[in-house]
Every structure is written in structure tokens, then in C-alpha cells.
């Protein structure tokens, strides 16, 4: 399935495809820099085709995996900060998907944020996420919920 199957314009589809990239930018960059391990959390999901619940979430992961280089170049030219982009994602999901499909996409994106936050942390010593990363995950949740206060902090 693709954007046509969901009744989405190319612009809306592209915005949805950018969502995982905004999550990596926001959560991975919460401490000032995105480590290779944090960025690889997304790459690992795409390479392994880690199962996601929901047809729309699956279609988005599958499309991003097959069109990654092309979509990355588009993403680099997109002027929207991560929080603004994720708020646009929330609006598209509210407008164009069922409640269940929208919920599952949001859940997959928050789950990615947790994976990114935990990616560069030692699993043996100390907390698995930093306070800054926890705040960034909360910002991802808020932006995806369409909350007006989703722009605190100084990240992307």
C-alpha cells in the first residue's frame, strides 16, 4: 500500500515519512548531538523491518526503508523544526486515518523515541535515558497529541 491507498497527497505522505526522522532529531539531539548509535536505532528498525502494529505504520516504515536516500534528501531541505513537523503529523493523522491507525502510528513513533534515547546508554550502568531525552520523548508525545504546549525546550 502507498499514499494513494490512504487518500493522502504527496505532501501529507512526505510529512508522515519524515516523522521518524523528526523523532530521531528531537530525541537524539536532546543532549546537543545525535550519536551514531542513536541514529542507528532508526536504521536498525528499517533494516530489520521490525514489526509495527497497524497497516499505516507498516506502510510508512516499508516506504521509508525502500526510499530512504530519496526521502532523506527531501528531509534535509524541509525547513520545519521537529516539533512543528510532528504537530503536522498529528493533524494529518487526525484528518486522514482512523483513530486506531493514528494511535498505532503515534505509538510506533514514541517507541522509536525510547529506542533512540536508550541506544547510546550502557544497559549495565546508570539510567537508560537522560533527563533531557525524557523531556524530548514527552515533547514527541505532546506534539503527536496535538497539544499546543508541545514546543518547550531548545531542541530541534
* Model pLDDT, residue 96: 80
Instruction: Average pLDDT across each block of 10 residues of the chain; the chain has 156 residues. List them in order.
Output: 85 96 94 87 76 84 91 96 96 88 93 89 64 94 78 42
Picking from 95, 71, 72, the residue whose alpha carbon sits closest to that of residue 9 is: 95
* Model pLDDT, residue 89: 97
* Model pLDDT, residue 127: 62
* Beta strand extents in the chain (DSSP E only): none
Per-residue cell: 107: 505509538
Residues 6 or more apart whose Cβ sits within 8 Å of residue 10: 3
Half-sphere exposure of 93 (CA within 13 A, CB side): 27
* Model pLDDT, residue 92: 95
* Model pLDDT, residue 38: 87
* pTM (2 d.p.): 0.87
Amino acid at each position: 500500500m502507498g499514499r494513494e491507498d490512504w487518500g493522502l497527497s504527496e505532501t501529507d505522505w512526505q510529512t508522515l515519512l519524515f516523522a521518524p526522522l523528526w523523532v530521531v532529531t528531537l530525541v537524539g539531539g536532546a543532549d546537543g548531538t545525535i550519536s551514531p548509535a542513536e541514529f542507528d536505532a532508526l536504521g536498525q528498525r528499517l533494516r530489520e523491518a521490525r514489526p509495527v502494529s497497524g497497516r499505516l505504520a507498516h506502510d510508512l516504515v516499508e516506504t521509508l526503508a525502500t526510499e530512504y536516500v530519496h526521502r532523506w534528501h527531501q528531509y534535509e531541505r524541509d525547513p520545519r523544526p521537529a516539533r512543528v513537523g510532528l504537530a503536522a503529523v498529528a493533524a494529518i493523522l487526525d484528518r486522514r486515518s482512523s483513530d486506531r491507525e493514528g494511535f498505532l502510528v503515534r505509538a510506533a513513533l514514541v517507541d522509536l523515541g525510547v529506542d533512540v534515547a536508550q541506544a547510546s546508554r550502557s544497559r549495565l550502568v546508570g539510567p537508560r535515558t537522560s533527563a533531557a531525552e525524557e523531556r524530548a520523548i514527552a515533547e514527541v508525545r505532546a506534539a503527536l497529541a496535538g497539544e499546543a504546549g508541545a514546543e518547550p525546550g531548545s531542541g530541534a
